[in-house]
Amino acid sequence: MSEPTRPLIRFLLSDIDGTLLRPDHSLSEANIEAFQQLRAAGIHYTLASSRPPRAMRQQIEALGIDLPTVAFNGGNIINPDGSLLAAHRIPQAAAIASLALFEGQDCSVWVFADDQWLLRDPHGAYVEHEHRTLGYDPVLVDSFEPYLDRVDKIVAASADHELLKRLEAQLNPQIAGQALASRSQLYYLDVNAVDANKGTALVTLAKHLGVSLAQSAVIGDGGNDVAMFRQAGLSIAMGQGEEGVRSQADYVTDSNLDDGVAHAIRRYILPD
């Protein structure tokens, strides 16, 4: 079977963790150089992540990004000057339902609101891991209740990956039409507003740039990246991603350990 004809790409939206970054969260020189090649070719690029806005600054600076960026899986789209291009927060009823389901489960529960990472148990699963990833301290609270009218994201973190799959399946029918639960990593189940997804963010950014979706490319590794796969003219999955993610992309590149983003840019996005 012959390879499908690739569209001319004018815009790339890339995930960060598990995609742009290596497993140790470092940004390789190969990936930096590939993005420099995009700039030289006149191809727009920016980042989309489940991270909060301030946890993306290091990557934004390293890649010289001067376009709006996507945080909280699409919950916030942030202009280069720090103002919001778009914001989608979790309806209070959906936040309450999510927290009620996670209560008593073998998982750490976090709420992101007011540009803060809020938690009740500083020793919970993956707290240290997230601290290293975000680069700033959590805020310990007795209750999430004071923040429920302005939640950007809720996370359940657990080493029990099957538990998170079950919670995802149980929660989505309860919050349908208001919010969506999806796994950004095998060990993280994210809850965002229903319009806070990377697919909607891609549509918003393409319109902002005056680029058609057919000329947009995306690359990611997790279940929360599939929404942008479905909107883009060209979708690329990371080699180490789950089969359910890889099967929904047009192409599969190498793993994030092997500079899969750089290889994908040179194979599928840069002009021949």
pLDDT tens, position by position, 200-223: 999 999 999 999 999 999 999 999
Listed in order, the ranges of the chain carrying CATH 3.30.1240.10 are: 92-193
pLDDT digits (tens, 9 = 90+) for 104-122: 999 999 999 999 999 999 9
Q: What is the CATH number of domain 11-87+196-269?
A: 3.40.50.1000
pLDDT digits (tens, 9 = 90+) for 83-105: 999 999 999 999 999 999 999 99
Residue 3 pLDDT exceeds 60: no
Task: Kindly tell me the burial class for residue 165, based on how many C-beta atoms sit within 10 Å of its own C-beta (0-12, 13-18, 19 or more).
Answer: middle
pLDDT at 67: 98
Listed in order, the ranges of the chain carrying CATH 3.40.50.1000 are: 11-87+196-269
Task: State the pTM of this model.
Answer: 0.86
* Mean pLDDT score of the chain: 95
pLDDT at 1: 43
Q: How far apart are the first and last CA of the chain?
A: 21
180 HSE (CA, 13 A, CB side): 21
Q: In the block, which residue shows the tokens 């923040």? A: 147
Find the helix packing angle between 161-175 and 92-102, rounded to 10°. 150
**Do 157 and 166 touch, CB atoms closer than 8 A?**
no
Architecture of domain 92-193: 2-Layer Sandwich (3.30)
Residues 6+ away with beta carbon under 8 Å from 24: none
Q: What is the largest CA-CA distance in the chain?
A: 59
Residue 163 pLDDT exceeds 60: yes
**Do 73 and 196 touch, CB atoms closer than 8 A?**
yes
Spatial separation of the C-alpha atoms in residues 180 and 194, rounded to whole Å: 5
